[in-house]
Chains A and B, each alone.
Chain A
Amino acid sequence: GAGVSQSPRYKVAKRGQDVALRCDPISGHVSLFWYQQALGQGPEFLTYFQNEAQLDKSGLPSDRFFAERPEGSVSTLKIQRTQQEDSAVYLCASNSGADTQYFGPGTRLTVL
């Protein structure tokens, strides 16, 4: 496709379950970003990849959050032992190294 895609679009998890969220960036985009967006708030940075290298993970809220991009294209954000405070929309963005980041539709995670 022409844009960033994310799956699943919606995920409901019971507290304590592990979840994996997928991002397919725009083809050829070197940089990939993950953001977390709480209801009514602006997105907050989680982590950044340049190709397969994770260059910044300063925004990950705890060691339960893990992201990877093993082949420099698709990325997965994994959350272990989910908590209710993890409920949010998780957004993925990519760019070619220029500054404009293009966002996917997000995955809405609800932890019960």
Chain B
Amino acid sequence: GESVGLHLPTLSVQEGDNSIINCAYSNSASDYFIWYKQESGKGPQFIIDIRSNMDKRQGQRVTVLLNKTVKHLSLQIAATQPGDSAVYFCAEIYSDSSYKLIFGSGTRLLVRP
């Protein structure tokens, strides 16, 4: 079935370095993508989103890139901090699906001090 997946289950980076978390999606009809951060014992927290008519969007220290040709999504975190340690999920929505989020399995980001 349609799914959103991630290439790497765990990513370890040095504090201050940039992090890149990747995601592949399979539904070409998806028109909205979101990155969530989830810390232990908490619900997913919205980070940044992007619509299918865009290929890049920037936030504070975060950038999301969308490549529709290869159905690939990435989250870039600049100057990674210890507080960025968490599990990151990409999720997609296609508007004929009651706006439910389809999540991938997640990537754990570990920041080394």
Chain B residues, CB < 8 A from A102: 46
Known: A103-B44, A104-B43, A106-B43. A42 touches B89 (CB 8 A): yes
A45-B102 in contact (CB<8A): yes
Chain B residues, CB < 8 A from A62: none
Separation of A103 and B34 alpha carbons in the complex (Å): 13
Name the residue of chain B whose CB is nearest to the CB of A43: B103
B59 to chain A, nearest CB (A): 13
Q: B41 is contacted by which of A40, A100, A105 (Cβ under 8 Å)?
A: A105
A41-B106 in contact (CB<8A): yes
Name the residue of chain B whose CB is nearest to the CB of A103: B43
A43-B44 in contact (CB<8A): yes
A31-B106 in contact (CB<8A): no
Separation of A102 and B46 alpha carbons in the complex (Å): 7
Known: A41-B106, A99-B32, A100-B34. A48 touches B43 (CB 8 A): no
User: Chain B contact residues (Cβ within 8 angstroms of A): what range?
Assistant: 20 to 34
A44-B103 in contact (CB<8A): yes
Name the residue of chain A whose CB is nearest to the CB of B49: A100
B101-A101 in contact (CB<8A): yes
B43-A99 in contact (CB<8A): no
A91-B34 in contact (CB<8A): no
B13 to chain A, nearest CB (A): 21
* In the assembled complex, A33 has its CB within 8 A of some CB on chain B: yes
Per-residue B-contact encoding for A36-52, CB less than 8 Å = 1, 0 else: 00001111110010000
* In the assembled complex, A18 has its CB within 8 A of some CB on chain B: no
Give the 5 A-B CB pairs with smallest separation, nearest first. Answer: A42-B103, A103-B43, A56-B98, A45-B100, A103-B44
A-side residues, CB < 8 A to B, are 4, 31, 33, 35, 40-45, 48, 55-56, 59, 91, 93, 99-106
Given contacts A4-B43, A43-B89, A104-B43, 13 further A-B contacts (CB under 8 A): A41-B106, A42-B91, A42-B104, A42-B106, A43-B103, A44-B103, A48-B98, A48-B99, A99-B49, A99-B93, A102-B46, A105-B43, A106-B42
